[in-house]
Structure 1
Amino acid sequence: MHNSIYDKRVRISDNVIRVLIYLSAFVSVAILVGIIGLVVIKGAPHLSWQLISTVSSSAKNTFGILGNIVNTLYIIVITLLIVTPLGVGGAVYLNEYAKGGKLVRAIEFTIETLSGIPSIIFGLFGMVFFGTVLKLGFSILTGALTLALMVLPIITSSTQVALKSVPESYRAGATGMGATKWYMIRTIILPSAMPGIITGIILGIGRIIGESAALLFTAGSSYYLVNDFFGHIFKPGGTLTIQLYLSMTKARYDQAFAVALVLIILVFVLNRITHIIANRMNKEKG
């Protein structure tokens, strides 16, 4: 009796599952292409240099999103400055220092819970705690602190996965050569896991760019430019998604599609940056 895999018959269920898998992949790609195509067709005619280089003016009856772009960049940078050390540091503790137990399980449960809380709840919490209790009011800083809570599970989980992918032989070799725990983490583990960490950070940026509900309650919807670079973080500031929401509520669909196209371009650029940085680090590591 032969047990070779070449003699085994292909079951009908295997073919059915294979067809369903390919069908699911095709439908997913078709939906993505359809969404992007619709936004490009509707938004491209209204996309101009004046749109992205000026701010809206009621007196001149003009529409511009430069202030929204600046506010979006402010919130991205401030949020990452807050959440990246916390997320990476928490993942390093859980993966390299913690030895299991109730504390570790409680932390992991908290991270999973945070990732499942609706953004509107984060917005309410940020408005009450950061805006009212800490007296930050409607400001970019309030929005960034709120988004930091939302992005923390993404960066922490991605960093944990990246750290676990580092071979144990790296740790054993460094320990055998007399390296201290922190020196090993700083010079071997983190550089080896850096592509995965960067991927988590970029995913966090995507979450920041696409958020609107939480920012509507914390950062406001102002689109004006402020000359004070540091004082700007204490002022209200509406992001691109907020402007997209406001344009839709006013039935200004041409403006909404133009803003949506700008958002898609930003997401595409960030994805390309992710691949470039990750590939470059993989080459350097190799």
Structure 2
Amino acid sequence: MDTDDSRHRTGVDHDWQRELVEALLDSPTLQDRSARAMLEELIGEELGRRLHLREHPTRHLQFLELVRACEAADGGLPALAQVVSLLEGHSRTSDKVSELVHGRVAETAGPPPAPRPAALGSLPASRSPHSSPGAQDGALDFFVSYTAVDRAWAAWIAWQLEDAGHGVLVEEWDFVPGTQWPVGMERGVTQCARTIAVLSPDYLHSVYGRQEWQAVQAADPTGLARRLVPVMVARCRPEGLLASVVHIDLVGLPMERARERLLDGVGAARAGRAKPALPPRFPG
């Protein structure tokens, strides 16, 4: 267990470093050693190289070295904030880390260059009202993986997610003429924060569906980042590794109840908890 003495001995010279380390220490998710290892690994993936951090006897020292390594690396601090947000979802920790990182980046960056007049014809096109909130800026929250039989379900799920403000990539809408299908699929499973697997008997027998969910699960084998979110739309029995992933069950629900369960489920996947807004009734 970390002590006040151990914190003083670390010699943190900057207030923002101390605050950032304390924010990471307060994270329930990062109490676990495997979660901390995943944090370092995912940051390394964002940077394109491993961090090669030393083992330390306390979490405080480990996080301090991580923060210093991220500050020294080009793009390291934004990568730290992004990965913490991925592991934590929306939480006090992720909000605090993001606030500190943005403040530090703004503090160390020089003044922004003066805007240059746009050349004729170079003005950005306005976003179509039918486009995904994240499809054009890369901030994609969900990739919807499905088989052709469940196309209607995939479109309904994608619509509900976008209507709630999430960025969605779905073949039905985004693989337009001229798109290379394999590139789109790879983008879905590698660049979207999470993949919705639309579960049905047909999906379980789909070769391409299996390739997609297995690729996502391979990137998050412990499920700590909750990158694979199965949504069952027809009664089926997943087997093997897929059977171990908790799914959202929409089978037999009326539309409004199905929408509520879908959005509650993806919200819990992002946050890492499903604590209700109201206290439970006294059971006695």
**The TM-score by the shorter chain falls in which range?**
under 0.3
Structure with more of its chain in strand, by fraction: 2
Structure with higher RCO (Cα < 8 A, 6+ apart): 1
Q: TM-score, length-normalised on structure 2? A: 0.25
Which structure has the larger Rg? 1
Structure with more of its chain in helix, by fraction: 1
